Structures are given as C-alpha cells and as structure tokens.
Chain A
Amino acid sequence: MRRKISLKPITLLLFLSTFFFYGQEEVEHIEAKPDKKTEIKEYIQHHLKDSYDFSLFSYEAESGEVKHISFPLPVILWDGGLRIFSSSKLHHGEAVAEVDGNFYKSYHGKIYKTDASGTIDYNEEHHPINEKPLDFSITKNVFTIFIIGFLMFAMFASMAKKYKRGNAIPVGVGRFLEPIVLYIRDDIAIPNIGKKHYKRYMSFLLTVFFFIWIINLLGLTPLGVNVTNNIAVTLALALLTYIITTFTANKNYWGHIFWMPGVPWPMKIILAPIELLGTLIKPFSLLIRLYANITAGHIVLMSIIGLMFIFKNWLGSSLSFGLAFALSLLELLVAALQAYIFTMLSALYFGSAVEEHHADH
C-alpha cells in the first residue's frame, strides 16, 4: 500500500506540536502518551485527513493537557432525512451526538450511526460495520474550498470591474494576475486548443488553474488545510475535464476512437476499446497526479519538520531545518507546477476533442 511506502522513512520521527503548525483534534493526556513513532505517524495521517471542525492551533497547557483551539462546523447527514447539527456535538469522536432520536459517533474521521451508548461493532479486520449515513457535512476541506471560492470570486470580480470602468490598464492585484491570465491564454489555451475554439474553454482553464494554485499554496500555510491531497477533490476536477472533453468533442475525435483511420480493419477493432479506455485513463492520471504529488510533498515536508524535534541537538536540528526550508521552497514550486500541468493537460485533452481533420492521418 501507498501509505506503508511513504511512511517508511518517517518511522523514526518524533512529533512535537509546533505552536503555529498543524492543529489536532483530540485532547491528549501526557501520562497516556503513546509511543513516539506511532504518535508522529498518527499525527501525519491525521493531518492528511479531513476533519469536522476547523482547528487553528494547539498548545500545551500547564495542566499537561494539549489544548486545541478550533471552531466547529456544521455536520449535514442524509439518513432517511436531513440531519444538521454542529460538529461540537461530536466532541472529536468522544461523544455520541443525538439528533432527532438518532445517534451518531465519529470514528477515524467518519461518522457512523450508533445506538445511544455509542457502541461501534467491528469485523475481524477491525473495520467498523456500523451503518454509515450519507455525509454532506461542511468539513474543514469543504469550508476551505468555499472560502477559496469566495476569495477567488471577490478577487477576480473586482479585477474585472476595474477593467469595465474603462481604463484597460490593470491596477492593483490585476497587475500581478493579468500576466498569468494572459499566459494561460497565449501559452496554454491557444497552442493546445487552437485559435478557433479556445474561447469556449477559457473559463474552465482559468478557474481550474487559479483554484488549484491557490489551494495548493494554502496547503503550505500553517493553517494546515490540505484540500488537493484529498482524492475526492481531484476526482471532481478531473471528472469535469472528462465531461467537458466528452461533450464538446467533434466527429473527428470519436472517429479516432472508434474507427481509427489509416489502419487495417482488424486493428481498428482492437484499437477501439484501447482508445476508449485511454479517454478514461487520461483524466484518471490527472486526478492521481495532483493527489499524489501534494500528498507526497506534505508527508515528506512534515517528516523533515518532525526531524527537527527528534534530533534535539544543534547540528541535526539545524540541518533538518535547512532541509525543511529548501523543501518548502520546492513545494512552493510544485504548487504552481501541478496547477500548470493540470491546466495544460486539460487544455491538451480539449484540444484533441475539437481538433479538425488532418490529411496526414
């Protein structure tokens, strides 16, 4: 499994709560401190997961308890009816929330339906077998994407307003954003899609680029939100690319899939399923790439930050600090690069969908 692989190098690491870095949900008691290896492992796993409340930071109180400053978010469940309640009722998985006579408990980041005492039954593999209601909660990630959506809208709408006002010279943030917008138009959309059709796709390409970029950058901030390392998010984005490709494709595109011109007919029959599969693999590679790059980046970066605390001597700690710093810079590049590649490949797929017939094949 992937996790086993990526966590191998960090089994030696120790985690200490950094004041401003990643938030944590549970209140841990010092005397019950688990093994340090497992602790850091769990911490990183926890960080990569979604949560039902938005934690800002944590600190160690004088009583020896680790306190977490967070604010609750609404939990929305569909369980034979809409159930909405605050995530504070779940008490980070320690309490059973009662809503309209139903009982829910969160276990390992998932909400399960339980009885009044909150029993969770397990199968042999220690997986809970309780019923899972459909979960449409505004989790930390959902909350973040809404914030980002709002920010993007505010930013670009105000930028557009300044353009509308008549002076066609960008002002303020537009001065920084306009070259990027133009770059996406001139170096991504036009060369890959072609001058004739590119306008239809510009909205999607621009939105997806800025969305991924901003969200990746936000993942590098101490807020500890990681949206793009969630496969649901990347799947949604890649699915949209696939849908747009499929629905805007012309005859030529389908012709190349089902009846590849220029090859003998037995080959055509063999090629058709391969090509059809190819159309699915393309967006699949998009979603996996974004997800895996960001996840791997986070795991490695956090592990190296953890190293700072494990060495506890000036040489090792300063070395790992330097490494973490360099890696953060690299992640900054990766954040933009992944957004670029996603946009670029989307444009490429759109381009293949609207490509006009060529005489050479």
Chain B
Amino acid sequence: MEIPTIVGAGLIVIGAGLGIGKIGGSAMDAIARQPEASGKIQTAMLIAAALIEGIGFAALFAA
C-alpha cells in the first residue's frame, strides 16, 4: 500500500514543529534565568530554529 505524500509532509511538520518548539521553550527558560544574555540567546535560538526549518523545508520538497 502506498502511503500518500501528505502523510509524510504531516510527519515532517510535526517533527519540525516539535524541534522548533523545544528550541523556543529552552530559549525562554534561558532568558528567564539570565535576562541580561537575552540578545545572545535570541540569536542562537533563531539560528538553531532556522537550521531545523531549513531541513524541514528540504524534506517537504522531497515529499
């Protein structure tokens, strides 16, 4: 039985969403703990999120 690509796409979105959510949550924790380092944390968070997003998009296009 062939699995429709939309299922794969859904899985990708779930994975990417979880990943980015985790990054965002951790960043919030880190900012709450060290508000003075929020600038650096935000930068690192965006970079990490962007990388996951990139992988997610690549997978979406493959699906």
Complex CA distance for A302 and B50, rounded to whole angstroms: 25
**Residues in chain B near residue A169, CB distance under 8 A:** none
Q: A283 CB to closest chain B CB, in angstroms? A: 10
A82 at the interface (CB under 8 A from B): no
**Residues in chain A near residue B60, CB distance under 8 A:** 2, 5, 292
Q: B29 CB to closest chain A CB, in angstroms? A: 22
Within 8 A of B (CB), among A314-361: 340-341, 344-345, 348
Q: Check if A288 sits within 8 Å of B47, measured CB to CB.
A: no
Complex CA distance for A340 and B45, rounded to whole angstroms: 13
**Residues in chain B near residue A187, CB distance under 8 A:** 39, 43
Q: Check if B46 sits within 8 Å of A344, measured CB to CB.
A: yes
Q: Chain A 134-177 against B: per-residue CB contact (8 Å), 1 yes, 0 no? A: 00000000000000000000000000000000000000000000
Q: B56 CB to closest chain A CB, in angstroms? A: 9
Q: Check if B6 sits within 8 Å of A5, measured CB to CB.
A: yes
A68 at the interface (CB under 8 A from B): no
A119 at the interface (CB under 8 A from B): no
Within 8 A of A (CB), among B25-63: 39, 43, 46-47, 50-51, 53-55, 57-58, 60-61, 63
Q: Would A289 and B6 be within 8 Å (CB), given that A344-B43, A344-B46 are in contact?
A: no
Q: Check if A341 sits within 8 Å of B46, measured CB to CB.
A: yes
**Nearest B-chain residue to A338, judged by Cβ:** B50
Complex CA distance for A286 and B51, rounded to whole angstroms: 9
A8 at the interface (CB under 8 A from B): yes
Q: Would A285 and B6 be within 8 Å (CB), given that A341-B50, A344-B43, A348-B47 are in contact?
A: no
Within 8 A of B (CB), among A278-318: 281, 284-286, 288-289, 292
> Chain B: interface secondary structure?
helix
A191 at the interface (CB under 8 A from B): yes
A4 at the interface (CB under 8 A from B): yes
Q: A356 CB to closest chain B CB, in angstroms? A: 20
Interface size, B (range):
10 to 19
A1 at the interface (CB under 8 A from B): yes
Complex CA distance for A345 and B52, rounded to whole angstroms: 13
Q: Check if A289 sits within 8 Å of B5, measured CB to CB.
A: no
Complex CA distance for A356 and B57, rounded to whole angstroms: 32
Q: A1 CB to closest chain B CB, in angstroms? A: 7
**Residue of B54, B55, B61 contacting most chain A CB atoms (<10 Å):** B54
B9 at the interface (CB under 8 A from A): yes
Q: B8 CB to closest chain A CB, in angstroms? A: 10
**Residues in chain A near residue B47, CB distance under 8 A:** 344-345, 348
Complex CA distance for A341 and B43, rounded to whole angstroms: 10
Complex CA distance for A16 and B21, rounded to whole angstroms: 37
**Residues in chain A near residue B53, CB distance under 8 A:** 285, 289
Complex CA distance for A8 and B10, rounded to whole angstroms: 12
Q: Would A1 and B5 be within 8 Å (CB), given that A344-B47, A348-B47 are in contact?
A: yes
**Nearest A-chain residue to B4, judged by Cβ:** A4
Q: A117 CB to closest chain B CB, in angstroms? A: 39
**Residues in chain B near residue A341, CB distance under 8 A:** 46, 50
Residues of B within 8 A of A (CB): 5-6, 9, 39, 43, 46-47, 50-51, 53-55, 57-58, 60-61, 63
Can you name 27 A-B pairs with beta carbons within 8 Å?
A1-B5, A2-B63, A4-B5, A4-B6, A5-B6, A5-B60, A187-B39, A187-B43, A284-B54, A284-B58, A285-B50, A285-B53, A285-B55, A285-B58, A286-B54, A288-B57, A288-B58, A289-B50, A289-B53, A289-B54, A340-B46, A341-B46, A341-B50, A344-B43, A344-B46, A344-B47, A344-B50
Residues of A within 8 A of B (CB): 1-2, 4-5, 8, 187, 191, 281, 284-286, 288-289, 292, 340-341, 344-345, 348
Q: Across chains A and B, which 10 residue pairs bring their CB atoms closest together, nearest first?
A: A285-B54, A288-B57, A292-B57, A5-B9, A341-B50, A5-B6, A289-B54, A289-B53, A345-B50, A2-B61
